[in-house]
Amino acid sequence: MAERLLQASRQRRMKAMTAAAGSAGRAAVPLLLCALLVPGGAYVVDDSDGLGREFDGIGAISGGGATSRLLVNYPEPYRSQILDYLFKPNFGASLHILKVEIGGDGQTTDGTEPSHMHYALDENYFRGYEWWLMKEAKKRNPNIILMGLPWSFPGWLGKGFNWPYVNLQLTAYYVMTWIVGAKHYHDLDIDYIGIWNERSYDINYIKVLRRMLNYQGLDRVKIIASDNLWEPISASMLLDSELLEVIDVIGAHYPGTHIVKDAKLTKKKLWSSEDFSTVNSDVGAGCLGRILNQNYINGYMTATIAWNLVASYYEQLPYGRCGLMTAQEPWSGHYVVESPIWVSAHTTQFTQPGWYYLKTVGHLEKGGSYVALTDGLGNLTIIIETMSHKHSKCIRPFLPYFNVSHQFATFVLKGSFSEIPELQVWYTKLGKPSTRFLFKQLDSLWLLDSSGTFSLELQEDELFTLTTLTTGGKGSYPLPPKSQPFPRIYKDDFDVDYPFFSEAPNFADQTGVFEYFTNIEDPGEHRFTLRQVLNQRPITWAADAYNTISIIGDYKWSNLTVTCDVYIETPEKGGVFIAGRVNKGGILIRGARGVFFWIFANGTYRVTGDLAGWIIYALGHVDVTAKTWYTLRLIVKGRFSSGMLNGRAVWTNIPVSFPKNGWAAIGTYSFEFAQFDNFHVEATS
Ligand SMILES: *[C@@H]1O[C@H](CO)[C@@H](O)[C@H](O)[C@H]1NC(C)=O
Ligand SMILES: *[C@@H]1O[C@H](CO)[C@@H](O)[C@H](O)[C@H]1NC(C)=O
Ligand SMILES: *[C@@H]1O[C@H](CO)[C@@H](O)[C@H](O)[C@H]1NC(C)=O
Ligand SMILES: *[C@@H]1O[C@H](CO)[C@@H](O)[C@H](O)[C@H]1NC(C)=O
């Protein structure tokens, strides 16, 4: 392996291969011959003319939205194993940065995440799972950098407008309390705070936020803006010296490895603060390998943050499997350590924030690129990628054609690196299973007699890391359990006295927020329930539905019976539903079709073919009022559906031809309190 890839000349290669045929183990191949004998490009790695920009890290995003939803309910030891693959140093992706969504109650791509302030006088720093995730990340890597960014905001901040900048002080206060709460309740130091994901910024808001943070003694918390495009924020900064001062980092999304002139003129740190977002196949891995190098080479970006950290949401939601790895089956414990984990490792395990890029980075003659970084203490890491166009397309932006082909590349170490005796070699080849390698350690490379010169034979879709660090490691655990479909029979009575997470396992809120709830006065059956807790539409980031809805189960479910106790809290206007065959979620939730059985506090029921209620299959009167528990049952089988209330048929054999399958769901008519208990679903064939 090593003998094929590392040699100083063709002639040498033949000799080395001959020698290797008879030897075993980690015999290093000394590389001696003059590099000029090797056809192909020559690349100098040198620090004598100073260093390039400071490296700030490689990271990933949990949230934006609800992308870690299913992770939290994984049984041990699998949950810890997944976290190790993501965060543990010298083990897997070994991320330097964790960026999380500041839950704002709204739909933010694959679900909603709860705010720490649902209402004006409300404060709770134990909702959701991002606090837990940050702590798990810190446990594994105390140096991990933490970032927070809002996507949506709770509705009360908008004072009637769908806009977070109505009262700048109030919104800054809201964000500041999240940072203070992280420290106070979880001992988490948030390092960077953002403005409003992929939406407008307000110059005065950014200044108010800075002042509020400083006033609270949070000077150390840096501001990143504006998590959208390079412009107009860069131009705004160049025109406003105070703004230029308060923004520490310009973060752009999906920059396609390029920046604009203004961004560079600000002389600020430039980050790709959201990138990747590609299915985690080998093409996704190729995308990541290419941008991790080229975001710096082409665009001077010193951090790249992937959306998303781990694909832990139902796969049929938008952007299914666009995480560094896949963990979407808490019911089976099955997960997959996908190739982007190992592509990340090529950079993350051999650099740290605070290292510096060398000035000598760039493109390879026949396609691909190389970067080199140093800690300034003599360590050197070189990362070479030869991702082909076909196998490295990211989901966005458009990737102009380029050609990568077989080549030899000779590297010459100069300056303080000229005396390096040995480099560790880590290798990945994406693509065909027969020739595929993921983060494999090869024989180390001895440079003793070669005056710092070595050559590589490079094929398409390869990654090499050559480094002085000997600490790298390819972590592994025994294979997790086999993939299983969601259980065909599933129940939850929500009887949890001190829940560790605010949401019930497997329920994935798509509009509204559903939380465990305790009816303190009720000693009986419905003491512990699941409650929809939003009483107002959030300041939205996406097209949240006008109803609230939480989905659960298997998208493939076609014939099913859903039974659930329901409790409308709002007299006259309130209403709740249970549903089957719900065929859309995430940012598409508003257009979800399915079979929805609604009851209303005004004594009526409805059966609709969509969440919005446009397609009405049936309606009528039924003996229902608010503040009473009822048991609803929805039966969907083949082309027909029936509904029952407290065991009595309300409607029967209504034709339902579309959609053919989808999730089960519960929800409310509007943003209103309502409770659910004894949820039971049985998928039948
Ligand atoms: C390289 O890094 C290691 C580990 O951080 C450190 O101990 C060592 O001093 C550094 N320098 C050299 C030349 O190895
Ligand atoms: C890519 O480059 C190789 C070698 O330079 C050449 O043989 C091949 O035709 C090129 N492919 C395309 C599509 O340009
Ligand atoms: C009952 O309430 C629902 C939801 O508010 C409403 O759409 C419906 O028109 C009402 N029906 C009657 C008969 O008042
Ligand atoms: C659903 O039930 C219908 C009617 O009994 C049956 O024809 C169909 O095969 C069932 N579908 C599945 C996926 O089991």
CA of 369 to the centre of ligand 2 (A): 17
DSSP state letters, 113-131: ---S-SSTT---S-SSSHH
Selecting among 3, 113, 274, 329, the annotated active-site residue is: 274
For residue 20, name the pLDDT band (cuts at 50, 70, 90). very low
> What's the whole-model pTM score?
0.95
HSE toward the beta carbon, residue 267, CA cutoff 13 A: 3
Give the Cα separation of 46 and 112 in Å (integer): 48
Ligand 1 atom 4: residue of nearest CA = 469
Report whether the peptide linkage leading into residue 400 is cis, meaning its omega lies within 30 degrees of zero: no
The answer to whether residues 683 and 559 touch, using CB atoms and an 8 Å cutoff, is yes
* 405 within ligand 2 shell (Cβ under 6 A): yes
Compute, in angstroms, the gap from residue 171 CA to the centroid of ligand 3. Answer: 36
Output the pLDDT for position 37. 60
Per-residue pLDDT at 31: 36
685 pLDDT tier (thresholds 50, 70, 90)? low
Segment 248-290, tens digit of pLDDT: 999 999 999 999 999 999 999 999 999 999 999 999 999 999 9
CB contact at 8 A, 617 and 609 = yes
What is the chain's mean pLDDT, rounded? 94
pLDDT for 12 beyond 50: no
Give the bridge partners for 101, in sequence order: 149
Instruction: Please indicate whether residue 653, judged by its CB atom, sits closer than 6 Å to ligand 2.
Output: no
Q: Is the pLDDT of residue 7 over 70?
A: no
Residue nearest to atom 10 of ligand 2 (CA): 403
d(CA 524, CA 464): 63
Closest CA to 276 of 267, 289, 265: 289
Residue 403 CB less than 6 A away from ligand 2: yes
Q: Which of 650, 644, 618, 623 is nearest to 632 (CA)?
A: 644
Residue at token pair 């399915």: 594
Phi/psi at 676 (5° precision): -135, 145
* Share of residues in the chain with pLDDT > 70 (%): 94
Predicted pLDDT at 9: 33
Taking the C-alpha atoms of residue 293 and residue 547, their distance in angstroms, rounded to an integer, is 44
Q: How far is the CA of 353 from the centre of ligand 1 (A)?
A: 15
Q: Which of 405, 408, 458 to mutate to test the pocket of ligand 2 (most atoms within 8 A of CB)?
A: 405
**Residue 636 pLDDT exceeds 70:** yes
189-223 pLDDT, tens digit each: 999 999 999 999 999 999 999 999 999 999 999 99
pLDDT value of residue 8 = 36
SS3 582: strand
Q: Per 3-state DSSP, what percentage of the chain is helix, strand, and coil (rounded to 5)?
A: 20, 35, 45
pLDDT at position 493 is 98
Report how far ligand 2's centroid is from the alpha carbon of 10 (Å).
22
Over the stretch 152-184, which tens digit does the pLDDT of each residue have?
Answer: 999 999 999 999 999 999 999 999 999 999 999
What is the whole-number distance in angstroms between the Cα of residue 402 and the centre of ligand 2?
A: 9
As a three-state string, the secondary structure of 262-296 is HHHHCCCEEEEEEEECCCCCHHHHHHHHHHHHHHH
Residue spans of alpha helices (H) in 400-494? none
CA 470/CA 479 separation, integer angstroms: 26
Cβ atoms of residues 589 and 611 within 8 Å: yes
* Ligand 4 near 685 CB (within 6 A): yes
- Going from the N-terminus, what domains does the chain have, and what CATH number goes with each? 53-325 (3.20.20.80), 489-683 (2.60.120.560)
Nearest CA to ligand 4 atom 10: 685
State the closest ligand 2 atom to the C-alpha of 366, by its place in the atom list counted from 1. 5
Nearest ligand, measured from the Cα of 672: 3
Place of tokens 């300034």: 376
Ligand 1 pocket test, candidate residues 375, 416, 419, 422, most atoms within 8 A of CB: 375
Which one of 351, 377, 424 would you pick to mutate in the ligand 1 pocket, going by the greatest count of ligand atoms within 8 A of its CB? Answer: 377
CA distance 142 to 124: 25
| Catalytic-residue membership of 274 | yes
The reply to whether ligand 1 has any atom less than 6 angstroms from the CB of 468 is yes
Query: Which atom of ligand 4 has the smallest separation from the CA of 558?
Result: 13
Cα(680)–Cα(685) distance, integer angstroms: 17
548 CB-near residues (< 8 Å, 6+ apart):
509, 511, 512, 513, 514, 532, 534, 667, 668, 670, 671, 672
Contacts with 217 (C-beta within 8 Å, 6 or more apart), sequence order: none
What is residue 523's predicted lDDT score, i.e. its pLDDT?
87
Which atom of ligand 2 sits closest to the CA of residue 403? 1
Q: Ligand nearest 622 Cα, by number?
A: 3
CA 377 to ligand 1 centroid distance, Å: 6
Task: List b or e across 314-324, with b for residues whose CB sees 16 or more CB atoms inside 10 angstroms.
Answer: bebbebbbbbb
Ligand 2 center–CA 40 separation, angstroms:
15
Burial of 395 (0-12, 13-18, 19+ CB in 10 A): middle
Q: Is the CB of 365 under 6 A from ligand 2?
A: no
Query: How does pLDDT run across 138-152, given as a tens digit for each residue?
Result: 999 999 999 999 999
Q: Which of 410, 457, 466, 445 is nearest to 29 (CA)?
A: 445
Angle at 389 between CA 387 and CA 390, to 5 degrees: 105
- For atom 1 of ligand 3, which residue has the closest CA? 602
Ligand 1 atom with minimal separation from the 471 CA: 4
pLDDT for position 3: 40
Residue 524 burial (CB count, 10 A): 8
| CA separation for the pair 426, 156 (Å, rounded) | 52
pLDDT score of 293 more than 70: yes
pLDDT digits (tens, 9 = 90+) for 398-439: 999 999 999 999 999 999 999 999 999 999 999 999 999 999
Collapsing DSSP states into helix, strand and coil, what is residue 652?
strand
Name the H helices within 247-363. 261-265, 282-299, 339-348
The bound ligand whose nearest atom lies closest to the alpha carbon of 420 is 1
Per-residue confidence band for 497, with pLDDT thresholds at 50, 70 and 90: confident
Please state, in angstroms and as integers, the Cα–Cα distance from residue 427 to each residue in 40, 345, 391, 440, following that order: 20, 11, 17, 5
Confidence of residue 352 (pLDDT cuts 50, 70, 90): very high
402 lines ligand 2 (CB under 6 A): no
Task: Quote the tokens at residue 386.
Answer: 């030869």
CA of 475 to the centre of ligand 1 (A): 22
Ligand 3 interacting residues, C-beta cut-off 6 A: 573, 575, 600, 602, 604, 669
Closest C-alpha to ligand 4, atom 3: 638
Ligand 1 centroid to Cα of residue 232, in Å, is 42
Rounded distance from Cα 563 to ligand 3 centre (Å):
23
Q: Give me the pLDDT at residue 318, please.
A: 98
Asked if 99 contacts 62 with a C-beta cutoff of 8 angstroms, the reply is yes
CB 128 within 8 A of CB 377: no
Buried b (16+ CB within 10 A) or exposed e, 418-447: eebeebbbbbbbbbeeeeebbbeebbbbbb
How many angstroms separate the CA atoms of 321 and 61, rounded? 14
Ligand found nearest the CA of 625: 3
Q: What is the C-alpha separation between 296 and 369, in angstroms, rounded?
A: 11
Q: Which of 4-8, 114-118, 517-521 ranks highest by mean pLDDT?
A: 114-118
Question: Whose atoms come closest to the Cα of 424: which ligand?
Answer: 1
CA distance 292 to 8: 27
Write out the two tokens for 58: 């490689």
C-alpha separations of 213 from 182, 210, 481, 526, 662 in Å: 14, 5, 46, 43, 46
d(CA 95, CA 659): 41
Is 198 labeled as catalytic in the residue annotation? yes
